[in-house]
C-alpha cells in the first residue's frame, strides 16, 4: 500500500478512476446523486441541494515520486445532477488538447421504475449517458458535449417508459466506453445496455456524431448466466440483451471492437 485518500464531498465515494500516463494526475469519479445521497428526487431541480456526482481531478505527483506519506491534492472538480453512480473516466487527447470521457452508470434518479417516472415528470433526462469534458483548465473542467440519444430526451418519455418494466434496471443507460487511440482520439464506442453498442466520431468533441451501432437480436428466453437473467429475476420473454462493456484494439492500421452483450 502506497497511499490512500478520501473524496471530500459528503455522501459520495469512488467508483472508477484513471491515471495519466506520467502518473501525476488522477481522474476520479465521485459516485453520488440523489439515489445515493438519500435525498428526494425533487432535489434534482432544487438549487439548495448541491450535486455530488461527477469528476474530481487530483494531483498524484507525490505518489508517483514515491514520497513518504504522499499527499494527494484536489485540483478541480465538476459535479452535475443529470446523472448518478459515476462509473469511469478515460483521459484522451483530440488534436493535442486534453479531454476526459466520463460515463455515468445510472440516471439522475437511480434505476428503479419510479425514479424514471419522477425524473421524466421533472423534465430531467431519465437515463445515464457519456459526456466529454474539457480539462485544459484543470481547476475549471467543463462539459462540452453529452452523448445523448432520443431516448434521453424527456420529451420522449411517454414513448420510452413502456419499455422500463421489460428492460428492468439500467434500460437505455450508458455503462462503459473506449476510444480508438487515447493520444489521438477520433472514435468513441460505448455500451448503452439495451441500446446496444454506439460508435461516435469525436474529432469535433463539441459536436460528436453517431456513425455506427450494433444491437443484438432479442431473445425468447434469457440466456443462462446473462446479465438480465442474473440481475432481473422473472424477466419476460422477448427481452433484449444488454451491451455492457467493450475494448477497442488496434493492429496493422485497423481497429477492432471487443464487446460484451449478454
54-66 residue pLDDT tens:
999 999 999 999 9
3-46 residue pLDDT tens:
888 877 777 789 999 999 999 999 999 998 887 777 788 888 88
17-27 residue pLDDT tens:
999 999 999 99
Cell of 107: 440516471
Single pTM value for the model: 0.89
| Sign of the four-CA dihedral 127, 170, 215, 245 | positive
Give the β-pairing of 142-147 and 130-134: antiparallel
Q: Can you list the domains of the chain with their CATH numbers?
A: 17-261 (2.130.10)
Q: Please state, for a pLDDT cut of 70, what percent of the chain lies above it.
A: 80
The C-alpha atoms of residue 194 and residue 185 are separated, in whole angstroms, by 26
| Dihedral pair phi/psi, residue 41, rounded to 5° | -60, -30
CA distances from 204 to 143, 154, 176, 179 (A): 14, 26, 21, 14
DSSP label at residue 96? T
Amino acid at each position: 500500500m502506497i497511499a490512500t485518500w478520501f473524496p471530500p464531498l459528503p455522501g459520495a465515494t469512488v467508483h472508477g478512476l484513471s491515471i495519466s500516463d506520467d502518473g501525476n494526475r488522477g481522474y476520479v469519479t465521485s459516485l453520488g446523486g440523489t439515489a445515493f445521497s438519500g435525498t428526494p428526487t425533487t432535489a434534482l431541480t432544487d438549487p439548495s441541494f448541491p450535486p455530488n456526482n461527477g469528476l474530481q481531478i487530483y494531483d498524484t505527483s507525490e505518489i508517483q515520486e514515491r514520497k513518504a506519506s504522499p499527499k494527494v491534492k484536489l485540483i478541480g472538480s465538476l459535479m452535475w445532477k443529470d446523472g448518478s453512480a459515476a462509473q469511469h473516466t478515460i483521459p484522451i487527447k483530440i488534436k493535442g488538447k486534453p479531454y476526459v470521457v466520463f460515463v455515468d452508470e445510472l440516471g439522475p434518479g437511480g434505476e428503479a421504475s419510479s425514479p424514471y417516472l419522477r425524473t421524466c415528470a421533472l423534465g430531467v433526462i431519465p437515463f445515464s449517458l457519456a459526456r466529454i469534458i474539457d480539462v485544459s483548465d484543470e481547476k475549471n473542467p467543463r462539459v462540452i458535449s453529452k452523448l445523448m440519444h432520443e431516448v434521453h430526451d424527456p420529451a420522449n418519455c411517454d414513448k420510452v417508459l413502456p419499455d422500463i418494466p421489460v428492460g428492468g434496471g439500467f434500460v437505455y443507460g450508458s455503462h462503459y466506453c473506449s476510444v480508438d487511440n487515447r493520444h489521438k482520439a477520433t472514435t468513441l464506442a460505448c455500451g448503452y445496455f439495451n441500446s446496444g453498442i454506439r460508435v461516435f466520431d469525436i474529432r469535433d468533441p463539441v459536436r460528436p456524431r453517431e456513425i455506427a451501432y450494433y444491437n443484438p437480436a432479442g431473445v425468447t428466453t434469457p440466456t443462462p448466466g446473462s446479465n438480465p437473467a442474473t440481475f432481473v429475476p422473472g424477466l419476460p420473454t422477448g427481452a433484449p440483451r444488454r451491451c455492457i462493456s467493450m475494448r477497442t484494439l488496434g493492429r496493422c492500421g485497423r481497429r477492432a471492437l471487443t464487446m460484451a452483450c449478454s
